[in-house]
Every structure is written in structure tokens, then in C-alpha cells.
């Protein structure tokens, strides 16, 4: 139990009947979770459905919630499982697409949907191109590498926490994070045309 | 650049370098410009990912999803298991929602079984019944069983819980598709 985690406190308050606590949890986490889900499933509409599904699970767990880890670890665990099921379902629909049995939840779809936001006037074109290129490179990583790196870098989760989310060992997390970073560095150092070719 | 350097650089970024590894990395960085370049590139990757994650999500989009969440959680209910969402008067009763889903699933399975029997009775004397049965009459569960264990392993499905959720999602998709077809095209 980690009472120092403000999100755990909110969830406990919600369990105790404070409805506003749930609204606050949604406000704190919906955007970040949506961004994560978009990166994993690559389709904004599907990501939104999964976001709703994730919070439905949180609501469903209200009565029996027992804080055993950071709230965000639990939340990402739910979201990732739902996203993985969505990817597996997509793969069942497209069985011709090859998959790597060692990479659970790896999405092998050949085409990529760029889900970066629309153009923003405050971001120059070069910056946008680079960001989109990075997004494409990130999208080529196996799901477990994506999730491990996201949780380490964006959420600052420990390897132990990430191992809990991914259902794997700490050493495996360490390897995946390092491979993800190395792959992204290599992809970003390649000329853009070559990188696009590899992605295809 | 070798794998060892990448592993050390990554571990350093996450603050999990051991003492001996730290000394090894510092030695590499001090003696190899390429190692320093690699370290800078690792840092840029982390910054790029944080930037990607920090892209704003429109308030309207979040509000729309919250409203949809409330809709999906069900209309106002007086059941004892209801869980209100954010105090707007709507309530959730996920157990009822799941019961409804499984109810639809059972009905669909019953229709499938009935189709098999009707197909067998009607088409038994003809020479086409085998193909017809395979295409039309096979109930959804049997179709799923046709997927081998190896297939499931290849898909990364290794838990019964996964299959249950997949089944649930398939049903949701079916219901959503039906809802869309009933509502007609949207702009």
C-alpha cells in the first residue's frame, strides 16, 4: 500500500463514496492514457474505446479496490491488457500477418496509422516532421518495448513496476527498454527515406 | 556501437547502473567520442518520447469520452450495485452490462446451433451439405476451437482471461456494428 500516492488516495476516497474523486482521477489520467493507447493500437477511435473500457474497469473495481501498488501501475496494467486483447483480436482478423511468438501482444500490422495530432501553428514544420518521424519509428517497435519504454520514460516507473504491468521479469524489462532506445536511436539517425522504407 | 554500451547507457538513463557498471561506462565515455554521441542520442530519444506523450488532448475530446463512458455505463439505475460516475446523476452497473453482453452471446450461440440442425435436416440428402455446414452451420465456439494451440501461442494468447476478454470485445464490436447500422451513416 502506498498512501503517499495521491492517486491511491483518490481511489480510496472514491471507494469510500467520494464521487468527485473519480472525476479527478479521470482528469489526471485520461489524456496521458489516451496518448499511450493511441501509440499501442494506432487508431484514435479504438484508443478512445479502450480508454472508456479502462475506466469502466476502474469503476467496476470500486468496491474491492485494495492498493497494492501505485495507482498508475494498476491503471496501465488494465489499459495494456485491454489494448493487447484488441491487438490479438485484430490479428485474428488478419491471420496472414506474421507474428513473433516471443513478443506477446506485438502488433505486426504492416501499415501504420500516424496518430500524432494535427498541425499546430506554434510548432515549426521541421519540428513537426521530426516528431512525426519519431512517432513512426516508435510505432515499429514491438508492443512490449513500446510499453516498457513509455512507462520508464514518460511515467518514471521502476523496472519492478513495469515488470508487474507487463507480466515479465525485471531483467526482461531492462533488456526491452535498452533495445527500444537503441532501435529508436538507429532509426532516427538514418536518412528519412531509408527509415520510411524500413517501416514499410 | 556495441550492445554493451547501449545497455549501460540505457541503465544510466533509468538510474539503475550498478557501481561497477558506472565505472565501466565512465571509462567508455571518457575515451570514445562515439560513445558520447551515442549517449546524447539516447537522451534525445527520451526527450522525443516525452514530447510525444505531452501532446495536448483537446478538452472537448476528453469531455466527449467522459460522456460516452457515462452512456456506456448504463442509464440511471436503482440497483444496489450501481456505481455513480462523477456525480452527474448517471450511474454504472457493470454487472448488468456484462449480463446483457453474455445474454446476447448465449442467444447468438443458440441461433448458431439451431442453424446447424436446420441445415442438416434440410440439406442432408444433397451433395452440398458438407460445405454448407462448414460455412453456415458452424457455431462460433467450434470455429474458435479450430484455432490451434500453436496459433494462440503465436498470437500471444496464453491465458484463459485473455480469451474471455477477447470474446467480450468481439461481442461488443458486434453490438456496436449493429447499433451503427441501425443509426445509419453519420457525418
pLDDT tens column, A51-91 = 999 999 999 999 999 998 899 999 999 999 999 999 988 88
Lowest mean pLDDT among A8-22, A96-110, A147-161, B123-137: B123-137
Q: Is the pLDDT of residue A37 over 70?
A: yes
CB A184 within 8 A of CB A173: no
**Residue of chain B with shortest Cα separation from A100:** B154
pTM beyond 0.80, yes or no: no
Which whole number is the average pLDDT over B32-52? Answer: 96
Strand B83-84 versus strand B91-92 pairing type: antiparallel
End-to-end distance of chain A based on CA atoms, in angstroms?
A: 45
Q: Is the pLDDT of residue B131 over 90?
A: no
Using one digit for the tens of pLDDT, what is the confidence trace for A151-165? 999 999 999 999 999
Interface check A169 vs B, CB under 8 A: no
Using one digit for the tens of pLDDT, what is the confidence trace for B78-124? 343 334 454 333 334 333 444 444 445 555 555 555 555 555 544 44
Helices and strands counted in chain A (H then E): 9, 0
Q: Determine whether the interchain pair A35/B53 forms a contact, defined as Cβ–Cβ distance below 8 Å.
A: yes
Which whole number is the average pLDDT over A99-117? Answer: 40
Average pLDDT, chain A: 83
The pLDDT of residue A41: 92
Looking at residue B87, what DSSP letter applies?
Answer: T
CB A136 within 8 A of CB A197: no
Which whole number is the average pLDDT over B150-166? Answer: 43
CB B102 within 8 A of CB B132: no
Interface check A114 vs B, CB under 8 A: no
Q: Determine whether the interchain pair A62/B83 forms a contact, defined as Cβ–Cβ distance below 8 Å.
A: yes
Which whole number is the average pLDDT over B26-39? Answer: 96
Which whole number is the average pLDDT over B129-146? Answer: 33
Task: Read off the pLDDT band of A197 (50, 70, 90).
Answer: low
**Residue of chain B with shortest Cα separation from A153:** B46
Which whole number is the average pLDDT over A146-152? Answer: 97
ipTM of model over 0.90: no
Range list of H helices, A16-70: 19-41, 44-60
As a whole number of angstroms, the distance between CA A197 and CA A187 comes to: 11
Lowest mean pLDDT among A153-162, A174-183, B151-160, B167-176: B151-160
With left for phi above 0 and alpha for psi between -120 and 50, is residue B87 left, alpha or beta? Answer: left
Task: Read off the pLDDT band of A176 (50, 70, 90).
Answer: very high
Residue scoring higher pLDDT (A164 or B179): A164
The pLDDT of residue B115: 57
Interface check A1 vs B, CB under 8 A: no
As a whole number of angstroms, the distance between CA B162 and CA B147 comes to: 15
Tracing cell 443509426 back to the chain, one arrives at B183
Average pLDDT, chain B: 64
Cell of A89: 483480436
Task: Read off the pLDDT band of B129 (50, 70, 90).
Answer: very low
The pLDDT of residue B79: 40
The pLDDT of residue B171: 53
**Neighbour tally for B172: CB within 10 Å:** 16
* The dihedral formed by the CA atoms of A73, A76, A80 and A82, expressed in degrees to the nearest 10: 120
The pLDDT of residue B170: 55
Torsion sign (Cα): B47, A157, A9, A34 = positive
Backbone angles phi, psi at B84, to 5 degrees: -65, 145
Interface check A117 vs B, CB under 8 A: yes
Helices and strands counted in chain B (H then E): 9, 2
Nearest to residue A132, comparing CAs of A120, A117, A142? Answer: A117
Maximum Cα interatomic distance, chain B, rounded to a whole number of Å: 84
The pLDDT of residue B121: 47
The pLDDT of residue B179: 63
Looking at residue B136, what DSSP letter applies?
Answer: I
Q: Across-strand partners of B83?
A: B92
Amino acid at each position: 500500500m502506498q498512501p503517499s500516492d495521491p492517486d491511491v488516495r483518490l481511489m480510496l476516497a472514491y471507494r469510500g463514496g467520494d464521487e468527485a474523486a473519480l472525476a479527478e482521477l479521470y482528469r489526471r489520467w485520461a489524456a496521458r492514457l489516451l496518448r499511450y493507447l493511441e501509440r499501442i493500437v494506432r487508431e484514435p477511435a479504438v484508443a478512445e474505446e479502450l480508454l472508456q473500457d479502462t475506466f469502466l474497469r476502474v469503476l467496476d473495481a470500486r468496491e474491492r479496490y485494495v492498493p497494492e501498488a501505485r495507482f498508475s501501475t494498476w491503471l496501465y496494467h488494465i489499459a495494456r491488457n485491454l489494448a493487447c486483447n484488441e491487438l490479438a483480436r485484430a490479428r485474428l482478423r488478419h491471420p496472414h500477418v506474421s507474428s513473433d511468438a516471443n513478443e506477446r501482444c506485438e502488433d505486426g500490422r504492416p501499415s501504420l496509422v500516424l496518430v500524432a495530432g494535427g498541425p499546430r501553428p506554434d510548432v515549426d514544420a521541421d519540428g513537426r516532421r521530426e516528431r512525426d518521424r519519431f512517432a513512426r519509428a516508435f510505432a515499429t517497435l514491438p508492443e512490449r518495448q513500446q510499453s516498457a519504454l513509455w512507462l520508464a520514460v514518460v511515467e518514471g516507473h521502476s523496472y519492478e513496476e513495469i515488470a508487474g504491468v507487463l507480466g515479465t521479469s525485471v531483467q526482461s524489462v531492462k533488456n526491452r527498454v535498452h533495445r527500444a532506445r537503441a532501435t529508436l536511436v538507429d532509426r532516427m539517425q538514418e536518412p528519412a527515406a531509408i527509415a520510411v522504407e524500413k517501416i514499410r | 556501437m556495441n550492445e554493451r554500451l547501449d545497455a549501460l547507457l540505457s541503465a544510466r538513463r533509468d538510474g539503475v547502473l550498478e557501481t561497477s557498471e558506472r565505472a565501466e561506462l565512465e571509462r567508455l565515455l571518457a575515451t570514445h567520442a562515439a560513445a558520447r554521441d551515442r549517449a546524447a542520442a539516447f537522451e534525445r530519444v527520451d526527450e522525443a518520447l516525452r514530447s510525444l506523450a505531452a501532446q495536448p488532448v483537446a478538452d472537448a475530446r476528453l469531455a466527449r469520452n467522459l460522456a460516452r463512458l457515462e452512456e456506456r455505463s448504463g442509464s440511471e439505475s436503482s440497483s444496489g450495485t450501481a456505481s455513480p460516475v462523477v456525480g452527474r446523476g448517471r450511474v454504472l452497473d457493470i454487472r448488468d452490462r456484462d449480463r446483457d453482453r453474455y445474454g446476447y452471446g448465449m442467444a447468438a450461440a443458440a441461433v448458431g446451433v439451431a442453424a446447424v440442425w436446420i441445415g442438416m435436416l434440410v440439406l442432408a440428402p444433397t451433395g452440398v451439405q458438407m460445405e454448407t455446414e462448414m460455412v453456415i452451420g458452424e457455431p462460433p465456439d467450434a470455429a474458435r476451437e479450430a484455432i490451434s494451440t500453436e496459433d494462440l501461442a503465436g498470437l500471444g494468447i496464453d491465458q484463459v482471461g485473455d480469451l474471455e476478454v477477447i470474446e467480450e470485445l468481439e461481442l461488443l464490436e458486434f453490438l456496436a456494428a449493429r447499433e451503427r447500422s441501425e443509426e445509419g451513416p453519420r457525418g
